[in-house]
Amino acid sequence: MSAALVIAVDAMGGDSGPAVTIAGAAVTLLRRPDTFFQFFGNETAIRAALEKHPSLAARSKVIHTEVSIAMDAKPSQALRQGRRTSSMWLALQAVKDDEAHVAVSAGNTGALMAMSKFCLKTMPGIERPAIAAIWPTVTSECIVLDVGANVGATSRQLSDFALMGAAMARSLFGQDRPRVGLLNIGEEEIKGLDQVKAANSWLRDSGLAIDHRGFIEGDQIGHGAADVIVTEGFSGNIALKTAEGTARQIAAYLRAAMNSSLLSKIGAFLAQGGFTHLREKMDPRRLNGGVFLGLNGIVIKSHGGTDATGFASALDLGYDMARNGLIKQIADDLEKVAHVARARDD
pLDDT digits (tens, 9 = 90+) for 292-316: 999 999 999 999 999 999 999 999 9
Please state, in angstroms and rounded to a whole number, the distance separating the CA atoms of residues 342 and 331. 16
Establish whether domains 1-125+294-326 and 127-290 are of one fold.
yes
**Any idea where the domains of the chain sit in the sequence?**
1-125+294-326, 127-290
DSSP state of 123: P
Judge whether residue 345 has pLDDT over 60. Answer: no
Per-residue pLDDT at 80: 83
- Range of lowest pLDDT (59-73, 171-185, 234-248): 234-248
CATH numeric code, 127-290 = 3.40.718.10
Query: CATH number for the 1-125+294-326 domain, one of 3.50.80.10, 3.40.718.10, 3.40.50.620, 3.30.565.10?
Result: 3.40.718.10
* Averaged confidence pLDDT in the chain: 88
Please state, in angstroms and rounded to a whole number, the distance separating the CA atoms of residues 213 and 313. 29
Q: Which of 273, 167, 185 is nearest to 227 (CA)?
A: 167
Please state, in angstroms and rounded to a whole number, the distance separating the CA atoms of residues 292 and 340. 26
User: How many CB atoms are closer than 10 A to CB 15?
Assistant: 14
**Amino acid (1-letter code) at residue 44:** T
Please state, in angstroms and rounded to a whole number, the distance separating the CA atoms of residues 63 and 43. 7
The helix (H) or strand (E) run that includes residue 136 is: strand 130-136
The helix (H) or strand (E) run that includes residue 330 is: helix 326-345
Judge whether residue 42 has pLDDT over 60. Answer: yes
**Amino acid (1-letter code) at residue 126:** I
In the chain, DSSP finds a helix count (H) and a strand count (E) of 13, 11
Please state, in angstroms and rounded to a whole number, the distance separating the CA atoms of residues 236 and 220. 14
Q: Where does the pLDDT of residue 1 fall: very low under 50, low under 70, confident under 90, or very high at 90 and above?
A: very low
User: How many CB atoms are closer than 10 A to CB 169?
Assistant: 25
The answer to whether 89 and 83 are in contact (CB under 8 A) is yes
Q: Which of 118-132, 255-269, 279-293 is predicted most confidently? A: 118-132
DSSP state of 218: G
